[in-house]
Amino acid sequence: VSLETALAGALEGGPVLTDPALTASYETDWTGAFSGRARCVVSPATADAVGRVLRVCASYGVGVVVQGGNTGLVGGSVPGGGEVVLSTRKLCGLGPVDPVARQVTAGAGVPLAQVQRAARGAGLSYGIDFAARDSATIGGTVATNAGGVRVLAHGTTRAQVLGVEAVLADGSVLRRLGGLAKDATGYDLAALLTGSEGTLAVLTAVRLRLLPPDPPLQTALVGLAGLAEGLVVLSRVPDLHAAEVMDRAGVSLVCAVAGLAEPLPAVHPAYLLIEAPDLAALADLAGPGELDAVVAADGADRARLWAYRERHSEAIATRGVPVKLDVALPLAALPAFAAELPGVLAAGTRRVVFGHLGDGNLHVNLLGAAPSDADAVLRLVAACGGSIGAEHGVGRAKVSWLHLSRSPAEIAAMRAVKAALDPGGLLNPGVLLPT
Amino acid sequence: VSLETALAGALEGGPVLTDPALTASYETDWTGAFSGRARCVVSPATADAVGRVLRVCASYGVGVVVQGGNTGLVGGSVPGGGEVVLSTRKLCGLGPVDPVARQVTAGAGVPLAQVQRAARGAGLSYGIDFAARDSATIGGTVATNAGGVRVLAHGTTRAQVLGVEAVLADGSVLRRLGGLAKDATGYDLAALLTGSEGTLAVLTAVRLRLLPPDPPLQTALVGLAGLAEGLVVLSRVPDLHAAEVMDRAGVSLVCAVAGLAEPLPAVHPAYLLIEAPDLAALADLAGPGELDAVVAADGADRARLWAYRERHSEAIATRGVPVKLDVALPLAALPAFAAELPGVLAAGTRRVVFGHLGDGNLHVNLLGAAPSDADAVLRLVAACGGSIGAEHGVGRAKVSWLHLSRSPAEIAAMRAVKAALDPGGLLNPGVLLPT
């Protein structure tokens, strides 16, 4: 029988999409930068069905690409060409919130925003948030160890994951959703799978830690002479919950595209959006007039200030398909990196840099980039002791630069783990590890 | 040449201990429950020297047992018989505290208390603390994903580890000590090694997260009718930093052995030691006279209350070598477990139960235990949805019960990872995974 017929059997009659009109939306990522043909698209609804799908694909020797909300930025969830796309959209069960243990179990295909709403409904909060919250799935956030705007206070996705249900390439199901706060009975397979970008197993559900709601936060937008001044703010304002940095190019672009007014009376080389329970220390940082800053007066004002940050991606997209680089640097190396960045880019390249200053995480967006630009930026990152991938992952986009951030010994160890759990190289071939 | 001569070469002349008078202290754990002969004892001082030692041992086909402070409670750091003991005591470098990034790098052999002191010296705090702090090494705490009394506020050791330096069985060195808060470039090998009990690699150094000091905490000791009442306290008092539970048997024993007065006017079936920035909610919990509790008046009083908890292990040790079981339960299952525990023990067995209520982590100590008792308790734990190892690990002591907490699919996945990174089964043979 054909692969498609065998898959239909594995899905007990569920659809196997092959019509290009139906598969097209699974074959290109939302930025338009990555695309590849799918052999077909399947949407199993249970872990057992995922296991049957994987066994069929293994027996036919066809690779499998896992796709959640398809909001990734490194091409990790679209086919390289000819794989079966396994969509997690039917793995959409969301369990009840346990208010005592402060936990919830979510299917891999549940959107991030739905988990956030469920937490709020129980008087709690989920530790991860970013702009793609309505489309990005929990499974995708775990597979990429997603970060976002709350990492400074609550850690990355790895810190929220208490357990997983996942299916290995041989179809066997790992299920550990009990949510025990302590469990020292061997290797933490959940921690290993978190951030593995679908190359070790297909995540089908996760047990998540929930948090008490944040205390009331004050929000301020501060004009900066540069990143060094931002680091001073970081070191002086206690208990920061957010510290988002933007350069002048990005704020100008957002103002133009979104029709927003300039955020501050003066124009600055950079801007820092901060949140903390108490911003009194900000006033102590400089004498009157020395720091150009505005503190949000109310919730509407807070949303107004956040718009400068959250509308960056859409504003940039109006100017073309950018090269998106997502890098992390040691805090102390940030000013040197920013100073050297213009010098490594081709003359005509326009750059918009923003990101999460408190985590040392910058999003370097390049418009009209020369072919050499990405390589030059990532080599500069490595020379500064940084990482070529901070929160978007490696995917297909960064795989040829993995060696800049990982030693041969580390890559060999990763290959050994990959071969142990997916000996046939079935899962997300071409993603993360060079083939 | 002999193994010993080859090891001396690997250590560039460093001592290879074979005299039983010198090796004896490495061959028995501090509880006296586990012991085995060492082929010899070596103490390499660098990761490269560890690599040379491992290559020698591999070529002679001799297993290696890694030993830090030898304070483990599951026999994971003493030989099974005939292995080379690799002591981490010379891996004792402690780097400077980075006050901006709030991090420090510690050699595997650095005692926990030394890291705590370094953090305090920089106006910071380390997230892990437990009674064996002066002897337990950082490497041991990472290898076992140690917990302790601060997990409720700050997470287990895994949450403190930002990176590791480790040597694989083939002698290759993984080194990732940059301490980036975000780094999504592949598998988190540090998270995989944390809690792997020396079976995947020899940890030589770790990069640790430090924290701002705790806010001023109030401390109270509360008399409880049982664990269910303790859970009510847990759910009502916000921002708990500690919630240590003790049963009547343990408090009586500590009072007798340490010569302490009864902690409260009345005698209770259980006691809960709690800390939080504000204990006002405790007063609201019950009308006057309904809750028998004392709040520490000052630092000396706080130390006095903590002594009831911290002196448990030494008090129990005066009554014999206990069977120590360290289990975790879903919070909701704790009262049922406590109610059923007496019924599964042999008639003559005495029990002392204490632990970290907020984490669902109970230390079940059995004195005069029957051979069937440990099995009966661990089966009860599994029936309640709990874990047979919460913070002490599996070691040699619990390896035959691993199947109660881990499914065949999980154990198969762990074996695959072990075989990938240590194909010769060189590291800590007989520990964690059944042979």
CA A386 to centroid of chain Cα atoms: 18
| Closest CA relative to residue A250, chosen from A177, A318, A351 | A351
Q: CA B131 to CA B313: how far, in whole Å? A: 9
Question: What mean pLDDT comes out for the span A295-310?
Answer: 95
Whole-number Cα distances in Å, A348 to A215, A318, A370, A373: 46, 18, 8, 11
User: In this complex, do A182 and B328 lie within 8 Å of one another by their Cβ atoms?
Assistant: yes
Q: CA B170 to CA A188: how far, in whole Å? A: 22
Q: Give me the residue from B179, B184, B194 closest to A145, CB to CB.
A: B184
Say which DSSP state B22 is in. Answer: H
Interface test with A, best of B187, B236, B391, B417 (most A CBs within 10 A): B187
User: In this complex, do B195 and A174 lie within 8 Å of one another by their Cβ atoms?
Assistant: no
Sequential DSSP letters for A200-232 = S-EEEEEEEEEEPPPPP-EEEEEEESSHHHHHH
What ipTM does the predicted assembly reach?
A: 0.95
Say which DSSP state A37 is in. Answer: -
Partner A contacted by B232 (CB < 8 A): no
Q: Give me the residue from B147, B187, B406 closest to A185, CB to CB.
A: B406
Q: With beta carbons under 8 A apart, name residues in chain A contacting B389.
A: 183-185
Interface test with B, best of A130, A150, A154, A182 (most B CBs within 10 A): A182
Look-up of token digits 């990938």: B420
Q: Residues of chain B whose pLDDT is less than 70? A: 286-289
Q: Give me the residue from B147, B188, B212 closest to A182, CB to CB.
A: B147
Partner A contacted by B198 (CB < 8 A): no
| Sign of CA pseudo-dihedral B210, B213, B218, B219 | positive
Query: How many CB atoms are closer than 10 A to CB B308?
Result: 23
User: Which chain B residue has the Cα nearest residue A359?
Assistant: B181
Q: Which amino acid is at B3?
A: L
User: Which chain B residue has the Cα nearest residue A413?
Assistant: B421
Q: Which amino acid is at A85?
A: V
Partner A contacted by B102 (CB < 8 A): no
User: In this complex, do B331 and A182 lie within 8 Å of one another by their Cβ atoms?
Assistant: no
Partner A contacted by B361 (CB < 8 A): yes
pLDDT of residue A431: 98
Where do runs of H (alpha helix) occur along B162-291?
189-193, 227-236, 248-258, 280-284
B254: which 2 tokens? 């500590």
Chain segment A327-381, per-residue pLDDT in tens: 999 999 999 999 999 999 999 999 999 999 999 999 999 999 999 999 999 999 9
| Closest CA relative to residue A220, chosen from A167, A280, A168 | A280
Confidence of residue A282 (pLDDT cuts 50, 70, 90): confident
Question: What mean pLDDT comes out for the span A378-390?
Answer: 97
Q: Give me the residue from A144, A179, A330 closest to B178, CB to CB.
A: A330
B172: which 2 tokens? 């290759």
Confidence of residue A221 (pLDDT cuts 50, 70, 90): very high
pLDDT of residue A115: 98
| Closest CA relative to residue A341, chosen from A332, A351, A331 | A351
> On the CB side of A87, how many CA atoms lie within 13 Å of its CA?
21
Q: CA A245 to CA A227: how far, in whole Å? A: 8
Confidence of residue A435 (pLDDT cuts 50, 70, 90): confident
| Closest CA relative to residue B57, chosen from B13, B9, B14, B109 | B9
User: Which chain A residue has the Cα nearest residue B157?
Assistant: A182
Q: CA B78 to CA B68: how far, in whole Å? A: 10
CA distance A406 to chain B (A): 8
Partner A contacted by B339 (CB < 8 A): no
pLDDT of residue B284: 77
Question: What mean pLDDT comes out for the span A50-56?
Answer: 98
B241: which 2 tokens? 């930093």
Q: CA B224 to CA B270: how far, in whole Å? A: 5
CA gyration radius for chain B? Answer: 22
Facing residues of B137 across strands? B111
Reduced DSSP (H G I as helix, E B as strand, rest coil) percent helix, strand, coil of chain A, to 5: 35, 20, 45
Q: CA A15 to CA A75: how far, in whole Å? A: 25
Look-up of token digits 């937008």: A221
Q: CA B136 to CA B113: how far, in whole Å? A: 8
Q: Which amino acid is at A338?
A: A
Q: Which amino acid is at B228?
A: A
Partner B contacted by A232 (CB < 8 A): no
User: In this complex, do B182 and A156 lie within 8 Å of one another by their Cβ atoms?
Assistant: yes
CA gyration radius for chain A? Answer: 22
Q: Is there a contact between A271 and A251 (Cβ–Cβ < 8 Å)?
A: yes
Partner A contacted by B383 (CB < 8 A): no
Average pLDDT value for chain B: 95
List the 204-223 stretch of A: residues with Cβ below 8 A of B: 212
Confidence check: pLDDT of A284 > 80: no
Q: Which amino acid is at A273?
A: L
Q: With beta carbons under 8 A apart, name residues in chain A contacting B189.
A: 410, 413-414
Q: CA B40 to CA B191: how far, in whole Å? A: 30
3-class SS of residue B323:
strand
Q: CA B219 to CA B250: how far, in whole Å? A: 20
Q: With beta carbons under 8 A apart, name residues in chain B contacting A409.
A: 168, 172-175
Chain segment A107-144, per-residue pLDDT in tens: 999 999 999 999 999 999 999 999 899 999 999 999 99
User: In this complex, do A332 and B100 lie within 8 Å of one another by their Cβ atoms?
Assistant: yes
User: Which chain A residue has the Cα nearest residue B411?
Assistant: A186
pLDDT of residue B288: 52
Confidence check: pLDDT of A288 > 60: no
Q: Give me the residue from A196, A361, A407 closest to B182, CB to CB.
A: A361
Whole-number Cα distances in Å, B233 to A68, A211, A212: 40, 18, 16
Partner B contacted by A18 (CB < 8 A): no
Partner A contacted by B412 (CB < 8 A): yes
Chain segment B246-298, per-residue pLDDT in tens: 999 999 999 999 999 999 999 999 999 999 999 998 887 765 557 889 999 99
Q: CA B298 to CA B289: how far, in whole Å? A: 23
Partner B contacted by A128 (CB < 8 A): no
Interface test with B, best of A54, A97, A160, A180 (most B CBs within 10 A): A180
Helix (H) or strand (E) holding B313: helix B312-317
A434: which 2 tokens? 């060079």
Q: Which amino acid is at B93?
A: G
Look-up of token digits 């199993």: A44
Where do runs of H (alpha helix) occur along A279-362?
280-284, 299-310, 312-317, 334-344
Q: Give me the residue from B186, B234, B416 closest to A406, CB to CB.
A: B186
List the 261-290 stretch of B: residues with Cβ below 8 A of A: none
CA distance B258 to chain A (A): 30
